[in-house]
Structure 1
Amino acid sequence: MALSNNVIGAINFVAMLLSIPVIGAGIWLATEPDNSCVKILQWPVIILGMLILKVALAGFVGGFWRIPWLLIFYLIAMLILIILLACLTVFIYMVTVRGSGHLAPSRAYLEYRLDDFSGWLRRRVHSSYKWDRIRGCLSSSNTCAELNQSYHMAQDFFNAHISPLQSGCCKPPTECGYTFVNPTYWISPINIAADMDCLKWNNDQNQLCYNCDSCKAGLLANLKREWRRADVILLITLIALICVYLIGCCAFRNAKTEDLFRRYKQGYT
């Protein structure tokens, strides 16, 4: 029985370690400028990782110190958390399955349209109240200012692989026909009626295209890219956690069986 308890404790220690990638994914999302402005996914991921850590710790203590009720709590609570993690992983995949960039003539970077993304994501940036807060956060970052430091010639900028957020927020749409002065300063549009965003462009460095739908689309494209990376981490952790949980269930059952045989032998003798 003691050996089985030690095995259960060791298995739960592995479960504790598996909480680290989940917490780390949430912290990484929180440090990304766009995610820190939107504040949608990082806290659910961090909280779920912390819960996995606490429940695994309870199982670890219950296994090494032979506390049956803690082990039962671990089995029930961890099953619930595994289901929640699976739901979160599937949800992230579903809301990010749509939305991709479009090639612009003579440009290496892609441009983005808001209608290409899932309705759930669009609602996160649709209302003016939500977007005013997000826009203020984005405009206070160095996202666009970095372009001016990196690209001085028009052709260098056109050949650059800039981020979706920079493509959508820091420059006007290509179809408007603006003339390049620097990455965040454009003049003399040719086709101002090509897109409503053509009218929203402003050379004021605090305005730029932060009011444009292309900026919202670029933000969602950035979120999609980062959420997909986090989702891969969550998926791998989920698979490992399921394996650890099943091994723990088998070890717990074997421990109970050994205990029953031990009691039977004691009663028989």
Structure 2
Amino acid sequence: MRASNHVIGFLNFTTFLLSVPILGGGIWLSSRANNTDCLKFLQWPLIVIGVSIMVVSLAGFAGACYRNTVLMWFYLFVMFFIIAALIGFIIFAYAVTDKGSGRAVPNRAYKDYYLQDYSGWLEERVARNSYWRKIASCVRDSKVCKKMGRTVDGVPETADMFYSRKLNSVQSGCCKPPTECGYTYVNETTWTTGAGYVGTSTDCTLWNNDQAELCYSCNSCKAGVLANIRRSWRKVSVINIVILIVLVIFYVIGCAAFRNNRRIDNDEPYGEARMTKAQPSTFQL
């Protein structure tokens, strides 16, 4: 087997290994979708890309080992479109998560989240009532709010202790009323109007101490879910960008090695003919 075949085989095996973190990223997003992100279709493009790279890499590896030109052409042709799809997915992920973050709140360690800070396709999809009913049900079933409860020496934490906690975006947006509403802390998921002041935000009137309601219908909850999705996608996208760069480099090297094999195969008959012609004839008596 030629050295270039060894190179192609090594590159394909390494590409197969690179498909693992891509597939792992899709599975991680899937686990997040079952937990707090609750948008269940986002992980499938990444899972499909990861599985495709895995299968195509195995085909290329087999083609290099057995010098099967058809498999090698299949690998180069399909891998080109897989790389293009990965580029498209990364661009899409950044485009739909380019805006939005929490707002700092005075004298609070956590942030508040506002739906108007987000825009675009993802925000419209999450905020749409038909989708939000399913997402809100998913957040409720995840019991993320129920898990917020803490005690110190068997005593529930005080308001000051709660205010110093760094809540995640779903906890802040869905499990408590927005700070601007002026509710008074009782425990992590129970708040009262105190002196009777309630802010002008529509979320202030949507808050309910019923543990099945809380702020699951609030825009702040939708914003909290969006912030969680944005954070998850950005983490996965950073890994994908690194893998994409390596894939492109390997693909270019693989193309060069394959062309070198083709050139040598085309030169072999001519070289063998010259060697045969150069052999001295046998002198017979």
Three-state SS of the structure 1 residue aligned to 2:150 is helix
* Distance in 2 (alpha carbons) for counterparts of 1:263 and 1:178: 87
Q: In structure 1, how many angstroms separate the alpha carbons of the residues matched to 2:231 and 2:220?
A: 16
Shift of residue 187, structure 1, vs aligned partner = 0.3
Between 124-133 and 62-71, the greater mean CA deviation after superposition: 124-133
Are residue 34 (structure 1) and residue 36 (structure 2) matched? yes
Shift of residue 34, structure 1, vs aligned partner: 2.3
Is the contact made by 1:180 and 1:186 (CA closer than 8 Å) also made in structure 2?
yes
Structure 1 CA distance, aligned partners of 2:240 and 2:41?
Answer: 16
Which letter maps to 1:86? Answer: I
Could you say what secondary structure the match of 1:243 adopts? helix
Distance 2:199 2:167 in 1: 25
Report deviation, 1:213: 0.3
* Distance in 1, Cα, partners of 2:10 & 2:104: 52
Deviations 1:114-164 (A, max 9, x none): 121131111221221111111111101121112113672111111111101
Kept in 2: contact 1:103–1:111 (CA 8 A): yes
Secondary structure at 1:41's aligned position in 2? coil
Distance in 1 (alpha carbons) for counterparts of 2:44 and 2:90: 14
**Alpha-carbon separation, structure 2, partners of 1:66 and 1:118:** 52
- Give ranges in structure 1 of 5+ residues lacking alignment: none
SS in 1 for 2:36: helix
157, 162, 165: which one aligns with 1:160:
165
User: With structure 1 as the length reference, what TM-score do the two structures score?
Assistant: 0.96
Name which of structure 1's ranges 255-264 and 153-162 shifts more when overlaid on structure 2: 255-264
The two structures have a TM-score, normalised by structure 2, of 0.90
Distance 1:208 1:156 in 2: 21
Query: 2:108 matched to which residue of 1?
Result: 107
> How far 1:59 sits from its partner (Å)?
0.5
Q: CA deviation at 1:8?
A: 1.1
**Whole-Å separation in 2 of the counterparts to 1:89 and 1:176:** 38
What residue ranges of structure 2 are gaps of 5+ in the alignment? 277-285
User: By how many angstroms is 1:38 displaced?
Assistant: 1.0
Match of 2:18 in 1: 18
Residue 186 of structure 1 aligns to a residue whose secondary structure is strand
> In the alignment, is the contact (CA less than 8 A) between 1:175 and 1:191 conserved in 2?
no
Aligned length: 268
Counterpart residue number, 1:260 = 266
Runs of 4+ in structure 1 deviating by more than 4 angstroms, as ranges, are none
- In 2, the alpha carbon distance for the partners of 1:115 and 1:188 equals 25
Distance 1:204 1:264 in 2: 85
Q: Which range moved further: 113-122 or 80-89?
A: 113-122
Contact persistence 1:8–1:60 (CA under 8 A): yes
Shift of 1:70: 0.8
Given that 1:112 and 1:168 are in contact with CA atoms closer than 8 Å, whether structure 2 keeps it comes out as yes
Task: For 1:1-269, list aligned pairs within 5 A.
Answer: 2-32=2-32, 33-35=35-37, 37-149=38-150, 152-188=157-193, 190-268=196-274, 269=276
Tell whether the 8 Å contact from 2:36 to 2:144 is kept in structure 1 after alignment. no
**Of 147-156 and 38-47, the range deviating more from structure 2:** 147-156
Tell me the CA shift for residue 193 of structure 1.
4.0
Q: RMSD across aligned C-alpha pairs, in angstroms?
A: 1.4
Offset of 1:246 from its aligned partner?
A: 1.0
Cα distance in 2 for partners of 1:125, 1:188 equals: 29
> What is the CA–CA distance in structure 2 between the aligned matches of 1:187 and 1:149, rounded to whole Å?
19
Distance 1:71 1:118 in 2: 44
Identity of aligned residues (%): 46
SS at match of 1:34: coil
Distance (whole Å) between structure 2 residues aligned to residue 160 and residue 115 of structure 1: 25
SS in 2 for 1:107: coil
Give the SS at the match of 2:210: coil
